[in-house]
Amino acid sequence: MTQVTMTVNGKAVSGDVEGRTLLAEFLREKLRLTGTHIGCDTSQCGACVVHVDGQAIKSCTALAADLDGASVVTIEGMANPDGSLSVIQQAFQDHHGLQCGFCTPGMVMSAAALLKENPKPTETEVRAYLEGNICRCTGYHNIVKAILAASGQDVSAIAAE
């Protein structure tokens, strides 16, 4: 076992982990931050996306032991300080960007990383960025619409469902 210390959603946390413990497991099982979902064992679904030192990563692909000192943000850290939904979360709600919600934490975290990197993405850029996030319910259309809305772009050009 190794002890790791990280900042998670602005709070210092520490815990003992095995060398094989994935960041996703550390977040869910040790810290009880179960908003980070695990939807596959092949690193394909993107339900587990979090930010590590400002970069979106699939937390099922990182070992917790390698992240001593890292700053991690999960979906639980995305709300505004007063507890209200962030702009991106609100846009998902407003534009029906979720159905079962399983993919949503990863989608929101990926969207946040995209908009930080590219505040005014085109529809094509949004779709390309979401290649690593799978949604089994929505057909992606409203997710894309929500992200474009959150970016402040006019979404009227996107084909209606």
Residue 58 touching ligand FES (CB under 6 A): yes
Residue 150 tokens read as: 């959150």
d(CA 116, CA 129): 12
Residue 46 touching ligand FES (CB under 6 A): yes
- Minimum CB separation from ligand FES for residue 39, in Å? 5
d(CA 58, CA 105): 12
Nearer to ligand FES, 5 or 20 (CB): 20
Binder of ligand FES out of 33, 60, 112, 148 (CB under 6 A):
60
Q: Which listed range, 25-33, 39-47, 65-73, 117-125, lies at the site for ligand FES (CB under 6 A)?
A: 39-47
- Minimum CB separation from ligand FES for residue 62, in Å? 10
> How far apart, in Å, do the first and last CA atoms of the chain sit?
51
d(CA 69, CA 107): 25
d(CA 19, CA 78): 28
Residue 13 touching ligand FES (CB under 6 A): no
